[in-house]
Amino acid sequence: MRLRLGTRGSPLALRQAARVGELLQRAHPFLEVELVTVTTRGDRLSLEGVPLFQQPVGAFVREVQGALLRGEVDLAVHSAKDLPLEPVEGLWVAAYPERAHPGDLLISRGPGWEELSPGDRVGTSSVRRRTFLQRARGDLRFVDIRGNVDTRLRKLREGEVEALILAAAGWERLGLSAEHVEVLPFSLLLPAPAQGALAVEVREDREDLRELVGAIDREDVRQAVEMERGLLAFLSGGCWSALGVLAQKEGEGWHLQAAWGEGGGEPVEARGRDPRALVEEVGRKLLLGAGNL
């Protein structure tokens, strides 16, 4: 059986799709896998220099989903954080197969986060990263930086910035290295909802594929992603909302922590066994902090 996996054509997206293919072939040795690249609106806008926070929700997934609906591919592989909150009719996320480190990294030519000098330029295009890191280090200059990871690293080497903030998951999956790499603690910067997780969509009418792909689904990852995205929905946010959130399994229960730029950025948390109740509890705390309750 041959499966066509639809994906964006960026190096990271291709690496992620290849990883999904490996997991599927490990679960079903009879499978053959083909990667089919699809150019998305987000890819085109990025080439035109449009910052991520100015791009529409779903800019990196809509065209891949369209190819899936038209039957041009059998599966669609996404970064789970890029999926819009509103599901597409006719599609189903059959698997959240794994999650790499959900946090963020500081990449620099030497100094760590605490050692950066006042006025140093830190490159990031993320509203979330800029919002929370600027609260911690108001003496730094946070500048918009565009391009793929290689382009950003070149700008770092050439001295356009003193440091970069990048997702740990992408760094890990691409197997990159640099002079100084520092994992930023969650106490400083919580990840974007579903950051580091992969999502595999199939058409709802393909029951055979739902079962086949379901073999690589991770229930713990699915629950964590649904809690984090559920909090984003509770706050009526979008992909570029300044929300940091992380759901972590603790024994038989969950620990949910979050910080919201609209609520002053102060972190809140809750523990318990009911994911839906935790989302509501944390969401209400954030809204209360923002003066919306």
Exactly one of 81, 173, 222, 285 is catalytic; which is it? 81
**Burial class of 37 by CB neighbour count within 10 A (0 to 12, 13 to 18, 19+):** middle
132 CB contacts (<8 Å, ≥6 apart)? Answer: 188, 189, 190, 242, 244, 259, 261, 265
* Residue of 2, 18, 17 whose CA lies nearest to 74: 2
- Rg of the Cα atoms in the chain: 19
The verdict on whether 129 is a catalytic residue reads: yes
Neighbours of 154 (CB within 10 A): 12
Choose, from 82, 104, 203, 285, the residue flagged as catalytic: 82
Of 8, 99, 121, 152, catalytic: 152
Q: Considering 15, 137, 141, 146, which one is annotated as catalytic?
A: 146
Catalytic: 146? yes
Q: Which two tokens stand for residue 278?
A: 């935790």
Catalytic residue among 128, 130, 155, 203: 128
Give catalytic status of residue 239 as yes or no.
Answer: yes
Strands laid side by side in the 268-272 sheet: 243-250, 253-260, 268-272
From the candidates 129, 173, 203, 285, which is the catalytic residue?
Answer: 129
Active-site positions read: 81-82, 128-129, 146, 152, 239
